[in-house]
A and B are shown apart, each in its own frame.
Chain A
């Protein structure tokens, strides 16, 4: 009786709300004295744990520039994360190697970019990760270790992506941002960003310069060919793949025989002989190196991908520094296929193929034309991309060759990018997953913004049980044409999972919304036990409080339990109003697409979501909430 009365009162209270005409507006406050269907959003099975904070944690350093061994505040701008399994039986998971994508001089750490290594193990009682204290062979003791480049292979810069060998977990870091002159190394002040500012170009080479030592570099290397003892300009000692040993926190070698390029990422195959390289240039090349002897990368053959070459590859000279310094030019002159900003790649154990991202570019212009002038070729996968985007100049009678020619002159705007697949069995590169949404013909636009993918960048795989998931991370190059929702002013870079048993479509991507809003996530690497993904939050763009304001490495743990609920969404009935809580993504899925408002326990409107079938509840503290749809359906939500 009492209840019915309450409900009556509530109906009276609510009905004025329905008087709003035409436009669907939600009252700023509602009475919550009424009962509604209740749904519970359980605690997320995923937990987050910060492991390593740039600009905060101290790293153990070696003697640099006359400074004794000691400690220094870690560099920032974390990007790639290498994971090297510990097979010694210690019970530890292994070593993590974190890239610092920057150029900043530091008396103790060394100038340029850099890397930090540390070791992790899992606490079996609660699955949290523990940083393992280590004493390295050189006597350094501590938790975090600075990788010594300056005393070994020379400074690095803009350490972007890298390689984790599929064979044995060896680690290479990749130096992006192609340098063309020494003065780009000189005269610069670093910061926790990628800046090499000036203060001013100090004549005495004072503190505050990105790389202070710009004297010519004499190579000391065991690489086969004419390398050892050759002298090159300092800037030419950047933009290589560089092997490091995470166990000793020391650089091993700059891979002069793999070619100099704007390297973003690479893959080393389980055969321990074959390496694939991805260049972040426009046009950029896709390369291969095959070692003569498994595990020995000082001797072997270098190739560039050419779509119509016999076997798909052309050989590039790599027995002397003069050739490998000119790698891209030589490749183009021999007809190499041109790509539009390749980023990261990964080997998929499930099908034996290599996947890599091509992030796209807004102002493509005629840059491919210049490549064609050097006889570079345009790969065929652009035909499909053009057709999907359906630009006005595309006519039904155009041949593939004509379409590619339009790409050459810059008529196609590659706003969204894609994931590419290289099949070593057929030597063919194909588009695996095109980003979107697209123009009017696109199916994915209808589901936008719930399903979209733009500028894929980071790429790796996670295995949980017998399932394989592709992990894709975005790095938006622009916001126009649906890359962010209407009126969104920030670049929202997101992380997705794709079940490799599902069709590769944008619709099948599952967003992992546990990363802090506004933080670009990079470096995602899964632990071998399938429990954690370790990621970096890279661009600390002033939006987030400490520790989120700094570059940091953190673990998201619980995927062994969570993946099922990410991918096994129940089919909701099409009739009535139904809500299904997804505790992993902190979302409520509705059985229809509509407008909906979320109210707090006191009836104050706190969120309004338009034209969506998903309500993102992340960031809301535990408690009682109410949701109300445009059609007037209500639901009480208990957030745990």
Chain B
């Protein structure tokens, strides 16, 4: 009887719910109209490209007409960018709006170099000097446009298959906000047209159009939040419309007072509307923390994405054990060299040398010791990008004859001979094993420690998070130059200021700068180090000759000397190098230089401001500590007991 009533009642319940919901279902979904708009705009983008192609077929072309037409095409692209990048990121990068540089075909069984395609490659030609005069240049442009049309056509034809949820829309908006702050506004994808402000404006207007779909619903749940978002959208658009000169635009204010708060409020809206987050749809680790409210918040990036560790498995015991090993020279063959020998905490985990001493002080290792602070935020390690996870980075140091010159077997034997280490490994791994020390555990605890060396509390961070009201004039000016005129932020991306590419931060870039062998004045010779070309086998392409990882600018005031070879002792020298257009400015002519070769035309005062800004990115003092001693062997006379914390190097 009870059962029956239960059944009946649940039946009734279901009927009622179904009634309620069937009524609701008659209203069209917001995603449908957003998708319809996206498809319409995509078709228009294709249409504009076809018109452009027709214009190019005319016997004589006028460059200014071509440039205006091209600008319109890009603006039309900006209307679909937020979803196109979200749905087909690889496709967009390869064919539509990727950097205008040759690159390698991904996931292929052979080395295959691809020519740059898409809008940015086209932009270079549209703004080239000989477009009107050279048939060859015009022809090249026509070919690139034809290729782009084929690809966009394919892209448009697939769109009827797309299904979107509200979560997709909110994530796409969130990523677009990151893209706006880190790429669009910095001129990343408008190197020649300098149209970044207008493009940012269109991107924001697109977000405004999408948000309108949700505003009435948000009005019901949280009218205040709805009002705040609308106001931020309007005011930021006004900011952009007021300013026409990209060199003078106050990007710091735009990001701090408008774009970044808007970013946070859109996440608020997603939560308030009860729209699910990505974590409820997939077990994969995410590189972004989709719930963080600011790109300057300490947890904006998920460090666990970049290591084999999971958050659940990490612990303070592992981190402390990793710290102990980091400072213990037991990891090297002669028990005199520790990780800390080249990564000293008081120098933000560098060693102040152009290149660290090699084993037995016989010469040096190959390259400059990079800082470990925030090093975890990278999908590749070493200047040549040869290790693809923190854990395997260590392996290279262990076997290198110039570094630790040993093997894991040897290390395990030595560490296992010390009772305290066995105990600590058992504690960290919650076991009671007789042989608790393994290769993967050593790698894991060291990763745990290195991943703990994060820092986002510099003067600049605090200001951008509105924790402090003011920056000094020089730092403020410098920040705007860094994000704008000087072009620094188009490679050293916010917020880590390294080469990890927003908005997903899953791909580390390397650049060909033309770095000289010595810092003398005048004509220079190239450092012969081939860089990434000597890194991964599958990347042994001429495009990567002399290409080096883009390391972070954070804590630069403690990490001199600079560059992969430590050639520059001061930031002034570094700035002069960039101001001259890299190697091209000092007589080093590399065909594949990826740094723009034009001079930046920065004044002395501007350079001073940029340096002041870079110095404001300092925050490592809380990480500057080390264990008091190393665990000792139970036999006093054992030679292992001669070890000193941090090693002797």
B-binding residues in A (CB < 8 A): 3-4, 7-8, 10-11, 14-15, 18-28, 34-37, 55-56, 71-73, 103, 176-178, 184, 187-189, 191-202, 206-208, 210, 262, 264, 280-282, 341, 361-363, 391-392, 411, 413, 437, 439-440, 445, 448, 475-482, 486-490, 517-518, 540-547, 549-550, 577, 595, 597, 605-611, 619, 630-634
Contacts and interface: CB of A to CB of B under 8 A. Distances in A.
B191 interface: no
Contact of B20 (A73, A192, A206, A632): A632
Given A20-B24, A607-B280, A262 B110 contact: yes
Given A200-B529, A207-B400, A632-B18, A22 B281 contact: no
22 contacts: A14-B13, A18-B17, A21-B24, A25-B166, A27-B274, A56-B438, A56-B439, A191-B395, A194-B536, A195-B386, A196-B537, A198-B535, A199-B366, A208-B401, A210-B537, A479-B90, A487-B86, A610-B163, A631-B17, A632-B16, A633-B17, A634-B13
A540 B308 contact: yes
Given A7-B13, A191-B395, A201-B534, A478 B90 contact: yes
Contacts, number: 295
B10 A542 contact: no
Interface string B384-406: 10111101100110011110010
Given A479-B90, A633-B14, A341 B109 contact: yes
Interface stretch (B153-161, B241-249, B480-488, B596-604): B153-161
For the side of the interface on B, what is the size category?
35 or more
Contacts of B94: 362-363
Nearest to B531: A198
Contact of A207 (B25, B150, B167, B399): B399
Interface string B79-102: 000000011111100100000000
B6 A7 contact: yes
Most buried by A among B90, B91, B388: B388
Contact of B5 (A3, A176, A437, A611): A3
Given A193-B388, A605-B276, A22 B110 contact: no
A411 B149 CA distance: 12
A604 to B, nearest CB: 10
Contacts of B286: 489
Interface stretch (B26-34, B470-478, B508-516): B26-34
Given A184-B537, A480-B91, A486 B164 contact: yes
B232 to A, nearest CB: 23
B29 A23 contact: yes
A279 B641 CA distance: 56
Given A56-B439, A541-B388, 6 more contacts: A22-B217, A391-B154, A477-B107, A480-B90, A487-B167, A487-B171
Contact of A184 (B150, B280, B540): B540
A392 B157 contact: yes
A22 B28 contact: yes
B165 interface: yes
B537 A195 contact: yes
Nearest to A56: B440
The 9 closest A-B pairs by CB, nearest first: A632-B17, A198-B534, A197-B386, A549-B308, A18-B20, A608-B276, A22-B27, A196-B537, A480-B91
A191 B284 contact: no
Contact of B536 (A25, A28, A197): A197
Given A15-B16, A196-B536, A262-B110, A611 B161 contact: no
B257 to A, nearest CB: 30
Contacts of B20: 15, 18-19, 632
Most buried by B among A24, A480, A540, A544: A480
Nearest to A29: B274
Contacts of A440: 157, 160-161
A25 B275 contact: yes
Interface string B104-120: 01111110101000000
B409 interface: yes
A26 B160 CA distance: 26
